[in-house]
Amino acid sequence: MCGRFTLIVTYEQLLEILDKHYNIQSFNMQTLLPRYNIAPTQDVISIIHDGINYRAGYLKWGLVPSFAKDEKIGVKMINAKAETLIEKPSFSNLIESKRCVVLADSFYEWKKSNNTKIPYRIQLNDQKVFPLAGLRSVYKRADGSLLHTVTIITTEANEFMKEIHDRMPVILTKENEKIWLNSHIKDVNQVLSCLKPYESEHMSSYQLSSYVNSSLHDDENCIKRV
């Protein structure tokens, strides 16, 4: 699964990334950076394509389908399995036109060891900030206000991640990101083909202390090596 991640960049660095990779020259900052422990129900920085240009903005992590009876369901829908997307009504109607990515520069996962869980930080060796595949939804509240939410897609673990956990978030390659974000592509099979494990040889990890376990902690101590 993917339950926590980081975006350890400054506002200036984020602007540089948005400009270089998405041709986005401005961004309305609403949360502080850097972020050392991003957790479900918090706002995450996401990229979409509006048919003409890429756009950056905030989505609340935890998908609330447009037909939901209660927005609290979002806490149970932080992840969506790539293998069953088309089988789930909450996700299948979003694949064609509500695709997005969530920006991260590492994610956390907990390895089971006897009766404990040991936290690890996982990074990519070939790029600093990377896109996590997501699906977004718009939910209309009773008062008429709109809630924009997102779920992060997971897939089976690659050989590297299997040592830590049996699932991992879908990290898109540059080529697959272009396909995933292209709102003109409606072929479901084509976009689903992008949702595969990242190559093991480009990934690395190290062990953390239990400090990161609390989502209330959001500082440099979260990423300190044991």
Q: Which residues are catalytic?
A: 2, 109
Bridge-based pairing of strands 79-81 and 116-124 is unpaired
Helices of type H across the chain: 11-22, 89-92, 174-181, 188-192
Cross-strand partners of 207: 120
Placement of tokens 């600093």 in the chain: 128
**Per-residue buried b or exposed e for 186-198, using 16+ beta carbons within 10 Å of the residue's own CB:** eeeeebbebbbbb
Nearest to 15 by CA among 50, 56, 49: 56
